[in-house]
Amino acid sequence: MRRLRRLVHLVLLCPFSKGLQQGRLPGIRVKYVLLVWLGIFVGSWMVYVHYSSYSELCRGHVCQVVICDQYRKGIISGSVCQDLCKLQKVEWRTCLSSAPGQQVYSGLWQDKEVTIKCGIEEALNSKAWPDAVPGRELVLFDKPTRGTSIQEFREMILSFLKANLGDLPSLPALVDQILFMADLNKDSRVSLAEAKSVWALLQRNEFLLLLSLQEKEHASRLLGYCGDLYLTEGIPRGSWHGAVLLPALRPLLPSVLHRALQQWFGPAWPWRAKIAIGLLEFVEELFHGSYGTFYMCETTLANVGYTAAYDFKMADLQQVAPEATVRRFLQGRHCEHSSDCIYGRDCRAPCDRLMRQCKGDLIQPNLAKVCELLRDYLLPGAPADLREELGKQLRTCTTLSGLASQVEAHHSLVLSHLKTLLWREISNTNYS
- Which CATH number do you get for residue 303? 1.10.510
Q: What is the pLDDT of residue 132?
A: 38
Give the model's pLDDT for residue 261: 62
Instruction: Work out the percent of the chain whose per-residue pLDDT is above 70.
Output: 74
Residue 292 DSSP one-character state? B
| 321 touches 205 (CB < 8 A) | yes
What confidence category does residue 8 fall into, taking pLDDT thresholds of 50, 70 and 90?
A: very low
Q: Which of 25-34, 63-72, 142-151 has the weakest average pLDDT?
A: 25-34
**Residue 26 pLDDT:** 57
pLDDT over 70 (residue 33): no
Q: How many domains does the chain have?
A: 2
> What is the model's pLDDT at position 121?
62
251 — pLDDT class (breaks 50, 70, 90):
low
In a domain, 291, yes or no: yes
Distance between CA 90 and CA 105 in Å, rounded?
Answer: 11
For residues 167 and 192, membership in a common domain is answered with yes
pLDDT at 82: 96
Does 279 lie in the same domain as 227? no
Average pLDDT, the chain: 80
The answer on pLDDT for 150 being more than 50 is yes
pLDDT in tens, 275-326: 999 999 999 888 877 888 899 998 887 778 888 889 998 878 888 999 999 9
Q: What is the pLDDT of residue 238?
A: 64
* Overall average pLDDT of the 212-225 stretch: 88
State the Cα–Cα distance between residues 189 and 187, nearest whole angstrom: 5
Task: Judge whether 212 and 166 are in contact, CB under 8 Å.
Answer: no
Domain annotation covers residue 63: yes
Hey, is 392 helix, strand or coil?
Answer: helix
Statement: residue 1 has pLDDT above 50: no
Does some domain include residue 133?
A: no
Are residues 165 and 285 both part of a single domain? no
Q: Say whether both 204 and 261 belong to one domain.
A: no
Specify whether 171 is located in the same domain as 255.
no
Which residue(s) pair with 92 in the sheet?
107
Mean pLDDT of 359-386: 90
Element (H, E) at 22: helix 17-22
Q: What is the pLDDT of residue 260?
A: 64
Classify residue 228: in a domain, yes or no: yes
Is the CB of residue 28 less than 8 Å from the CB of residue 16?
A: no
Report the run of H or E that residue 91 belongs to, with start and end: strand 91-95
- Does residue 244 carry a pLDDT above 60? no
- 249-263, 305-319, 347-361: range with highest mean pLDDT: 347-361
Domain assignment present for residue 72? The answer is yes
Residue 15 lies in a domain: no
Residue 390 to residue 429: CA distance in whole angstroms: 19
Domain boundary among 183, 200, 233: 233
Residues 163, 103: one domain?
yes
Domain boundary among 178, 198, 233: 233
Claim to verify: residue 212 and residue 323 sit in the same structural domain: no
What are the start-end ranges of the H helices in 183-294?
192-202, 205-212, 255-265, 269-286
Lowest mean pLDDT among 129-143, 210-224, 336-350: 129-143
Range of the domain at 157: 59-121+143-233
Structure confidence at residue 51 (pLDDT) = 45
pLDDT in tens, 43-85: 655 554 444 455 678 988 999 999 999 999 999 999 999 999 9
Tell me how far the alpha carbon of residue 213 is from its chain's centroid.
Answer: 15
101 pLDDT above the threshold of 90: no
Indicate if 167 and 63 belong to the same structural domain: yes
Same structural domain for residues 98 and 195? yes
Using DSSP bridges, classify how beta strands 304-306 and 320-322 pair: parallel, antiparallel or unpaired: unpaired
What's the pLDDT band for 31 if we cut at 50, 70, 90?
Answer: low
Question: Quick one: pLDDT at residue 138?
Answer: 43
Contact (CB, 8 A) for 105 and 57: no
Provide the pLDDT confidence category of residue 235 given band limits of 50, 70 and 90. confident
Shared domain check, 269 and 382: yes
Residues 6+ apart with CB under 8 A from 366: 283, 286, 287, 295, 296, 299, 404
Percent of the chain whose pLDDT exceeds 90 = 46
Confidence of residue 222 (pLDDT cuts 50, 70, 90): very high
Residue 38 lies in a domain: no
The pTM score is 0.77
Domain boundary among the residues 205, 233, 261 is at: 233
Is the same domain home to 72 and 163?
yes
| Minimum mean pLDDT range among 20-24, 61-65, 262-266, 282-286 | 20-24
Q: Give the DSSP H/E element, type plus range, for residue 70.
A: helix 60-72
User: Can you give the pLDDT at residue 318?
Assistant: 83
Question: What mean pLDDT comes out for the span 80-105?
Answer: 91
Residue 17 has what DSSP assignment?
H
- Residue 7: inside a domain: no
Question: CA-to-CA distance for 196 and 227, rounded, in angstroms?
Answer: 8
- Residues 266, 348, single domain; the answer is yes
- State the pLDDT at residue 200: 94
Mean pLDDT computed over 171-195: 93
Report the range of poorest mean pLDDT among 45-54, 115-124, 136-145, 293-302.
45-54
Interatomic CA distance for residues 374 and 369, integer angstroms: 9
The single-letter DSSP state of residue 85 is I
User: Using 50, 70 and 90 to split pLDDT, how confident is the model at 123?
Assistant: very low
pLDDT given for residue 30 in this prediction: 62
